[in-house]
C-alpha cells in the first residue's frame, strides 16, 4: 500500500478511522474535505446583514395591504458572510474544470471558452423569440448553417432543429415515423428495442403509444440480428437502436439491420447520443438510418442543458423529411434565410406532424455547437472521434487485468470502456469502487449500467482528457480495484474525505428533505444520521 504504484504516485497517509485503520489515496488527493453549515445556521432571522433606514413616507395609497405583517424568517448575513458561504459551497461542486467526469454514456467533456464567448455576443445572448424575423437574421443564419453541417456529417436529407434534448429528439423521430405510417394508411404498433440501447429508447416508444419488444444481445454485446429478423412483421413500425451501443461497441451489422427492417416495411431510428465516437468517420445515412437525434452537448461540446434549454436536433431520411415538425428554418432561392411557422407545401415539411415546441429557444446551444464545428472543421471533427476512441481503449487496456472487461475480446471499444465487479473479493462491489473514487478526488463513473453487465462500471474519458490526466485516473482506479481484490475493509465505508460519509441513497431519494425546519437535532427535524451521513 505504501509503494509507488504503476502510475508513479506515492500513496499518502490520511486520517485514522474508527477501527484504527489508516485510509490512503493513491492520487494524493483527499476528496472534498469541506464542511459548510446552512445559511440558516450561519445567520439568524432576528438580525439583518445591512442597516436599513425606516421609510420616510408611508406606503402609497392602496398598497398598504401588501405590507408584511412580520419580517420573513430568513437568515441575516452580511455581504462577506454571504459571499464566503456560497464560495465555500461552490468548492463542494465537482466540475469539468476541476477534473475528468468519467460518466459513461453522458459524455461530460470540456466546453471550450471560445464557444462561451460566441454565445454571449449581442444578438445571440439577448435574442427574443418574438422579435421580428428581420431583426434576427444573424441568429437564423446560425441555425441554418448548423443544420447544414448536421445534414452533411450524417448523410441525411433533412433535420428538425426544435427538439430540446435527446429523449425529446427520440419522441420527434417516432412521431415522424407514426406520421409516415399514417400517410401510408398503416397502423403498425410495435417498436423493437435491443437490450444494448439507451434506457430512454423503450420509455420514449411507450410514451409515443407503441408496444415495446426487446431484442437480446449476443455474447459479444451486439444486437442479435437473427432474433431481430424473427420479430419483424406487418405490425412492426421500426427499431430503435443505439450505435455505438451502450456497451461502448459499434454495431457492425447496422446496414443489414436497416435492410431487414426496411424490407419488412418499418423504419430505423438510431439513438445518436454516441455520435461523438463516429463523427467524421461514419455517416448514419449510409447505414440505412431514417431518423437520429444528435445531443449537441455530447458531440459538439455544448453544456448539459446550458443553464436552460438543451438541444437534440433530429436528422431525417428522405422518407421521413416531409413529416418533420414546425417551425423550421429554410434558405430561399435568393439566399435569404427565414423561419417557417406554418405548414407550407412549397417550402418543405409538407406533411409536418405539428410542433414539438413553440419556439427555437436553444439559441445558446446552436451558437456553441456551430462554433465548435467551425473551429475544428471536417478533419478536426474526425480527430475528435479518433481521440475519444483512443482514450477509451487506453483506459480499457490499462485496467482489464484488474477489472474484468466483459467485451474486451470483441475487439476495440468505441468511446467508452465497460468493466464488471465480477473479479472483486467476496462482499465487494461496484459501489465500493465508485465511493472510493470520491476519496481519490474523482467523480465516479456510471455504475450498474448497462443492465446487460452485472455490476457494470461504464467509463467515458472523452477526447478532451490528456494522457497525463488519464494516467492519474487510471492509477486511482487500479489502486481501488487492487484494494477491493485484497479485501480492504475500509472501502466499505468510503468516502472518508467527502463532506458526508456514505448515505442511504434510496432513502434520500424517497424522502428528500427540501425545506428548512429548524436546527438539526431539534425534535421533529430530520437528522443526517437518518440517511447514513455523519
Encode pLDDT of 135-146 as tens digits: 999 999 999 999
* Confidence at residue 348, expressed as pLDDT on a 0 to 100 scale: 66
Q: How many CA atoms lie less than 13 Å away from 59 in the CB half-sphere?
A: 7
Rounded to 5°, angle at Cα 446 from 440 and 451: 140
The residue count of the chain comes to 534
Q: Cα(244)–Cα(105) distance, rounded to whole angstroms?
A: 10
Residues of the chain with pLDDT under 50: 1-20, 345, 519-529, 531, 534
Q: Give Rg (Cα) of the chain.
A: 27
pLDDT digits (tens, 9 = 90+) for 464-490: 999 999 999 999 999 999 999 999 999
* Confidence at residue 23, expressed as pLDDT on a 0 to 100 scale: 63
Q: Which CATH architecture has domain 116-124+131-372?
A: 3-Layer(aba) Sandwich (3.40)
Which of 431, 448, 441, 424 is closest to 493 using CA atoms? 431
* Confidence at residue 251, expressed as pLDDT on a 0 to 100 scale: 95
In which residue ranges of the chain is CATH 3.40.640.10 found?
Answer: 116-124+131-372
Q: Cα(35)–Cα(15) distance, rounded to whole angstroms?
A: 16
DSSP 495-515: -SSSSS----HHHHHHS---S
Q: Cα(158)–Cα(49) distance, rounded to whole angstroms?
A: 57
Q: How many CA atoms lie less than 13 Å away from 456 in the CB half-sphere?
A: 22
CB atoms within 10 A of CB 149: 18
Which of 133, 130, 132 is closest to 143 using CA atoms? 133
Is residue 442 a contact partner of residue 434, using CB atoms and an 8 Å limit? no
Q: Cα(315)–Cα(154) distance, rounded to whole angstroms?
A: 8
- Using CA atoms, how far residue 267 sits from 222, 239, 482, 532, in Å, is 20, 7, 47, 49
Q: Cα(76)–Cα(55) distance, rounded to whole angstroms?
A: 20
- pTM summary value: 0.86
Which of 416, 420, 426, 425 is closest to 404 using CA atoms? 420
CB atoms within 10 A of CB 474: 21
Which of 385, 427, 155 is closest to 275 using CA atoms? 385
Rounded to 5°, angle at Cα 252 from 272 and 166: 10
* Confidence at residue 32, expressed as pLDDT on a 0 to 100 scale: 61
Is residue 136 a contact partner of residue 337, using CB atoms and an 8 Å limit? no
Is residue 450 a contact partner of residue 456, using CB atoms and an 8 Å limit? yes
Contacts of 471 by beta carbon, 8 Å cutoff, 6+ apart: 7, 8
* Confidence at residue 340, expressed as pLDDT on a 0 to 100 scale: 86
Its sign, for the CA torsion 285, 288, 291, 293, is: negative
Contacts of 97 by beta carbon, 8 Å cutoff, 6+ apart: none
CB atoms within 10 A of CB 475: 20
Q: How many CA atoms lie less than 13 Å away from 367 in the CB half-sphere?
A: 24
Is residue 245 a contact partner of residue 214, using CB atoms and an 8 Å limit? no
* Confidence at residue 104, expressed as pLDDT on a 0 to 100 scale: 92
Rounded to 5°, angle at Cα 222 from 448 and 201: 60
Amino acid at each position: 500500500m505504501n509503494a509507488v504504484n504503476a502510475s508513479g504516485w506515492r500513496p499518502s497517509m490520511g486520517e485514522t478511522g474508527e477501527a484504527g485503520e489508516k485510509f490512503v489515496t493513491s492520487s494524493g488527493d483527499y476528496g472534498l474535505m469541506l464542511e459548510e453549515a446552512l445559511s440558516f445556521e450561519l445567520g439568524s432571522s432576528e438580525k439583518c446583514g445591512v442597516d436599513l433606514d425606516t421609510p420616510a413616507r408611508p406606503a402609497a395609497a392602496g398598497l398598504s395591504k401588501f405590507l408584511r405583517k412580520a419580517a420573513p424568517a430568513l437568515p441575516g448575513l452580511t455581504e462577506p458572510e454571504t459571499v464566503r458561504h456560497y464560495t465555500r459551497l461552490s468548492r463542494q461542486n465537482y466540475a469539468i474544470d476541476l477534473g475528468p467526469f468519467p460518466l459513461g454514456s453522458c459524455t461530460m467533456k470540456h466546453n471550450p471558452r471560445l464557444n462561451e464567448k460566441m454565445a454571449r455576443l449581442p444578438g445571440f445572448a439577448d435574442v427574443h423569440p418574438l422579435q421580428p424575423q428581420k431583426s434576427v437574421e444573424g441568429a437564423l443564419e446560425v441555425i441554418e448553417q448548423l443544420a447544414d453541417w448536421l445534414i452533411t456529417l450524417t448523410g441525411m436529407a433533412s433535420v428538425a432543429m426544435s427538439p430540446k434534448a435527446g429523449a425529446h429528439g427520440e419522441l420527434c423521430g417516432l412521431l415522424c415515423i407514426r406520421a409516415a405510417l399514417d400517410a401510408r394508411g398503416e397502423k403498425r404498433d410495435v417498436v423493437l428495442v435491443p437490450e444494448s440501447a439507451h434506457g430512454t429508447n423503450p420509455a420514449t416508444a411507450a410514451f409515443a403509444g407503441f408496444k415495446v419488444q426487446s431484442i437480446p444481445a449476443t455474447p459479444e454485446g451486439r444486437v442479435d440480428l437473427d432474433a431481430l429478423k424473427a420479430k419483424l412483421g406487418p405490425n412492426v413500425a421500426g427499431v430503435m437502436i443505439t450505435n455505438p451501443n451502450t456497451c461502448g461497441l459499434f454495431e457492425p451489422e447496422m446496414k443489414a439491420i436497416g435492410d431487414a427492417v426496411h424490407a419488412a416495411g418499418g423504419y430505423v431510428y438510431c439513438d445518436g447520443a454516441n455520435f461523438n465516437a463516429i463523427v467524421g468517420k461514419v455517416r448514419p445515412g449510409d447505414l440505412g438510418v431514417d431518423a437520429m437525434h444528435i445531443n449537441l452537448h455530447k458531440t459538439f461540446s455544448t453544456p448539459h442543458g446550458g443553464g436552460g434549454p438543451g438541444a437534440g436536433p433530429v436528422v431525417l431520411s428522405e422518407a421521413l423529411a416531409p413529416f418533420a415538425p414546425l417551425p423550421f428554418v429554410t434558405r430561399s432561392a435568393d439566399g435569404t434565410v427565414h423561419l417557417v411557422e406554418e405548414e407550407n407545401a412549397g417550402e418543405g415539411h409538407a406533411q409536418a406532424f405539428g410542433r414539438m415546441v413553440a419556439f427555437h429557444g436553444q439559441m445558446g446551444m446552436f451558437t456553441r455547437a456551430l462554433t465548435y464545428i467551425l473551429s475544428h472543421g471536417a478533419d478536426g471533427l474526425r480527430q475528435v472521434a479518433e481521440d475519444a476512441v483512443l482514450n477509451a481503449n487506453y483506459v480499457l487496456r490499462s485496467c482489464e487485468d484488474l477489472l474484468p472487461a466483459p467485451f474486451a475480446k470483441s475487439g476495440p471499444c468505441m468511446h467508452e470502456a465497460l468493466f464488471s465487479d465480477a473479479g472483486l473479493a467476496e462482499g465487494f462491489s461496484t459501489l465500493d469502487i465508485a465511493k472510493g473514487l470520491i476519496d481519490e478526488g474523482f467523480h465516479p463513473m456510471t455504475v450498474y449500467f448497462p443492465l446487460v453487465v452485472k455490476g457494470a462500471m461504464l467509463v467515458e474519458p472523452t477526447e478532451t482528457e490528456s494522457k497525463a490526466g488519464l494516467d492519474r485516473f487510471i492509477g486511482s482506479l487500479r489502486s481501488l480495484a487492487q484494494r477491493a481484490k485484497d479485501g480492504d475493509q475500509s472501502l466499505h465505508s468510503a468516502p472518508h474525505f467527502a463532506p458526508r460519509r456514505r448515505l442511504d441513497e434510496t432513502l434520500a431519494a424517497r424522502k428528500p428533505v427540501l425545506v428548512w425546519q429548524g436546527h438539526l437535532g431539534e425534535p421533529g427535524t430530520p437528522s443526517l444520521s437518518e440517511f447514513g451521513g455523519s
